[in-house]
A and B are shown apart, each in its own frame.
Chain A
Amino acid sequence: MPDPPAPQPQPAVPRIGEQDEATLVAQARAGDRGAFGALVARYATVARRVARAVLGNPDDADDAAQDAMLLALVKLDQFDPRRPFGPWLLRIVANAATDRRRRRTVRRAEPLDPGLAAGGSRPDVQAERRLLNERLREALAELPARRRMAVVLFDVEGYSHAEIAEILGIPEGTVRSEVFHARRRLRALLADWR
């Protein structure tokens, strides 16, 4: 029996309709700061998550996301309004985060709480969740930046392989490979938590 058609990846949050988005972009290009603010608000979370996947540190990630938003505003007249805005913006975010990562001095990660790091008692679900989050971030940090972005854009943000290929500027097959390798590493980690 043939496989059922694959469902389209669903974004974590509903995306703005293309028409609405095109209108907002056009208004922002014309100097409407309110329209630009709406675009920033719409893409703030995904931009910050992608930046954090690359940089690890949330403050650095916010700085990179902010730089990217401002750069996007400056370059808005170069945006092709016939294309979707999200991948264009996220490409700027990805580049800003990657550049910042290259430039910044290598910082040592803050040590884990000894009790948590030792895998000791798990007093409550919250603590367990914090530990899992911490371990996931550490596992992400071991991956190449492009791999991190690929898996976050695919599994968290719901972008298709083709869209991620456009965002990262790499072939679609490479995106599939990056997502696969990232998942394999992260799944090994998550297996202990299931």
Chain B
Amino acid sequence: MKEPLPFDHRPDPLMGDALRQALEPGDAAAFVARVLARVEQVRAPSWDAVLARWARAGVAAAVLIAAAAGYLVGRAAGTPTGRPSLDDALLAPAPPGDVEIVLASVIGN
């Protein structure tokens, strides 16, 4: 029998046939059906997964709303309210203090 060349660039039909039979997979149709069924599962997620996704979105929205509300409340609490006191009016650098407040203080005294 002719010994094949070490780096023979042609497939060896005998070797190929032997390996093909040794590695012969089972029913191809069953495998294809199995893969396509898995594709459908991946494509159509379960209700649990859908609800979980919604829940994650809901939690994220609630956190954002809470953060925004906290910011607004904090900002409102930090804003001075009511009329300025006499000291505030007199100590204000410019423009000069509110005349009405100064007069009211003088008349009151």
Residues of A within 8 A of B74 (CB): none
Number of A-B contacts (CB under 8 A): 108
B32 touches A44 (CB 8 A): yes
A136 touches B39 (CB 8 A): no
For chain A, residues 74 to 131, give those with C-beta under 8 angstroms from any C-beta of chain B. 129
Partner of B11, one of A10, A33, A132: A10
A187–B1 Cα gap in the complex (Å)?
13
A129–B20 Cα gap in the complex (Å)?
12
For chain B, residues 1 to 58, give those with C-beta under 8 angstroms from any C-beta of chain A. 1, 4, 6-12, 14-16, 18-26, 28, 31-32, 34-36, 38-40, 42-43
B38 touches A40 (CB 8 A): no
* Chain A minimum-CB-distance residue to B29: A41
A52–B18 Cα gap in the complex (Å)?
14
Residues of B within 8 A of A132 (CB): 18, 22
Assuming the A-B contacts A70-B35, A190-B15, A194-B1, are A180 and B23 also in contact, with contact meaning beta carbons closer than 8 angstroms in the complex?
no
Assuming the A-B contacts A48-B25, A155-B11, A180-B7, are A66 and B16 also in contact, with contact meaning beta carbons closer than 8 angstroms in the complex?
no
Q: What are 29 residue pairs bridging A and B, where the CB atoms are less than 8 Å apart in the complex? A: A7-B10, A12-B20, A33-B39, A36-B36, A37-B36, A40-B32, A40-B36, A44-B28, A49-B23, A49-B24, A49-B25, A58-B25, A58-B26, A66-B31, A70-B39, A70-B42, A73-B39, A129-B21, A133-B21, A136-B22, A137-B23, A140-B22, A140-B23, A151-B15, A152-B19, A154-B11, A156-B23, A190-B15, A194-B1
Residues of B whose CB lies within 8 Å of any CB of A are 1, 4, 6-12, 14-16, 18-26, 28, 31-32, 34-36, 38-40, 42-43
